[in-house]
Structure 1
Amino acid sequence: MELTQPNAASLPSFAPQAETSEAVISSDFETFLKMLTVQMENQDPLDPTDSAEYAMQLATFSGVEQQVLTNDLLNALMMQMNTTGMAQMADWVGKEARSPMPAYFDGSPITIAPNPAVAADTVELVVLDEDGNEVERSEIPVSADPIEWAGTSDDGTPYPNGIYEFRVVSSSNGEVLINETADVYARVQEVRSENGQAILVLQGDVAVLASDVSALRE
């Protein structure tokens, strides 16, 4: 009777499950030993399977087992690092974070940190409401110095509370060089983890990746 050597594809599945991998590996190893025992019991006595083949099968299982355990270790390390990062960023709550993002206007001035093109001769600040409608356009200095947006029209009437986006349009000789979202400061209300990434929730439920924050202030 001719028996074929089982390869990695014919072995039990060793993919890690939600349950503990040690229990899964133990169960799979028992199944593997039963398969190996059956193969040994049914081999041709006149043409026995080479012992090197058994050693190869054991080595194959051992390699898969080590890979599963390694993956579990890496996942544990990633979770630990993520938890540590969250603990460190807990101090961010209550501070103002700077990032290219919309900001919630509640009547208080919003600090904008423009970064116009160096070659620009004209820079405009364009303010858009939550629906993307332009509500204001004004010329600002060709400078990276922060400016305060008061949130009022020309006659002093305050704009409605809500989410606003600020775009910096840099032009030279009438040609637009850069049109980008300006950095603004907004207060951090919550730090959460989603899909392995740290997310900051700011005023008005504006969410931004922690990795996109370039500055913090009290």
Structure 2
Amino acid sequence: MNINNSSAATATQTNSATATTNNQVSDMFLQLLVAQIKNQDPTNPTDGKEYVSQLAQLSQVQSMDSISSLMTSTSRQVSSLQKQSIGALTGQKVMVATDQLSTDGSTAVAGRTTLAHAASQVTVTLKDTAGNSYPFSLGAASAGDVNFTVDPKTLGLPAGTYSLNVTTDNNQSGLTTELMGKVQAVRFPLSGSDPVLSLQGIGDANYSAITQFTMA
């Protein structure tokens, strides 16, 4: 509620500032116009059409300024609403497309891969930064989604960062992995880049990597 009030206040301030700026421009233009009329050459007065043209140009400038200010205000409000929506994911479970896993050594993580064709043997291999491999078999699987669980205790995975790779006995290529975790925090980089989610048992993932939302 406070954020919404803040957005409304910002919009009001923006509109007020725009109106003030337009009034200042109008006053300045009228002063220049009066000065121009007073100081024109009586023997060669300025054509009235020129004044009308100048007034039309002023109107165009004011319209462009108003549109620009409105777009800026709208952009800020949309950004605020997006942050509220993404921030509300805290405590919820999401699935993200990733080939990295930063485990705490104890939290089991649900995962998924998708096969284009059935396979007699599907294997998920985790590899740490030192090059040590920890493969585990999913057995035979039909085409489509294949679910699995990465349990650090069962696999003997120490806490750390691992890469994930899925292979099949029929050499299917381009297999991706998705992992599910609870959102513990959301970070909005000052650079304006993609928001970063901190996921329990997985680590950080970009908001754009989300492939599924699930009730906690």
**Fold similarity call, TM over 0.5:** yes
Q: Per-residue displacement from partner, 1:78-108 (whole Å, max 9, x unpaired)?
A: 3333333443444421122111133331212
Whether contact under 8 Å (2:134, 2:155) holds in the other structure is no
- Residues 40 and 105 from structure 1, CA distance in 2 versus in 1: closer, same or farther, beyond 3 angstroms? same
RMSD of aligned Cα (Å): 3.5
Maintained 8 Å contact 2:86/2:186: yes
Residue in 2 aligned with 1:191?
186
Is 1:84 paired with 2:85? no
AA at the equivalent of 2:110: T
Equivalent in 168, 173, 178 of residue 177 of structure 1 = 173
Tell me, yes or no, if the aligned pair for 1:126 and 1:134 is still in contact at 8 Å.
Answer: no
The aligned residue for residue 105 of structure 1 is 103
Change (3 A) 1:215 1:83: same
Q: Distance in 2 between matches of 1:45 and 1:132?
A: 90
Structure 2 Cα separation of the partners of residues 23 and 82 of structure 1 = 25
Q: How do 1:142-161 residues align onto structure 2 when only pairs under 5 Å count?
A: 142=142, 143-151=144-152, 158-161=156-159
Tell me by how many angstroms 1:184 deviates: 0.6
Q: CA deviation at 1:211?
A: 7.0
Amino acid at match of 2:151: A
In 2, Cα distance between equivalents of 1:90 and 1:161? 27
Residue of structure 2 aligned with 1:27, choices 24, 29, 33: 24
Provide TM-score, normalisation by structure 1.
Answer: 0.67
The reply on whether 1:200 has 2:197 as its aligned counterpart is yes
Deviation at 1:163, TM superposition (A): 3.2
C-alpha separation in 2, matches of 1:64 and 1:199: 40
Aligned letter for 1:159? L
Q: What letter corresponds to residue 24 of structure 2 in structure 1?
A: S
Task: Give the Cα separation in 1 of the matches to 2:117 and 2:94.
Answer: 25
Q: Residues 103 and 216 (structure 1 numbering): CA distance in 2 closer, same or farther, change over 3 Å? A: farther
Amino acid of the structure 1 residue aligned with 2:184: Q
Contact 1:82 1:196 in 2 (8 A): no
CA distance in 1, matches of 2:117, 2:41: 83
Matches within 5 A, 1:17-166: 20-101=17-98, 102-106=100-104, 107-118=106-117, 123-129=122-128, 131=129, 133=131, 135-140=133-138, 141-142=141-142, 143-151=144-152, 158-166=156-164
Task: Quickly say closer, same or farther: Cα 1:42–1:137, change in 2 above 3 A.
Answer: farther
For residues 107-153 of structure 1, give each alpha carbon's deviation from its aligned partner in whole angstroms, at most 9, with x where no partner exists: 12111111233477765423243x4946334554354132101235x
1:159 positional shift: 1.6
How far apart, CA to CA, are the structure 2 residues paired with 1:49 and 1:169?
Answer: 83
Shift of 1:77: 2.8
* Partner Cα distance (2:34, 2:169) in 1: 78
Tell me, yes or no, if the aligned pair for 2:184 and 2:198 is still in contact at 8 Å: yes
Larger helix percent? 2
TM-score of the superposed pair, with normalisation by structure 2: 0.68
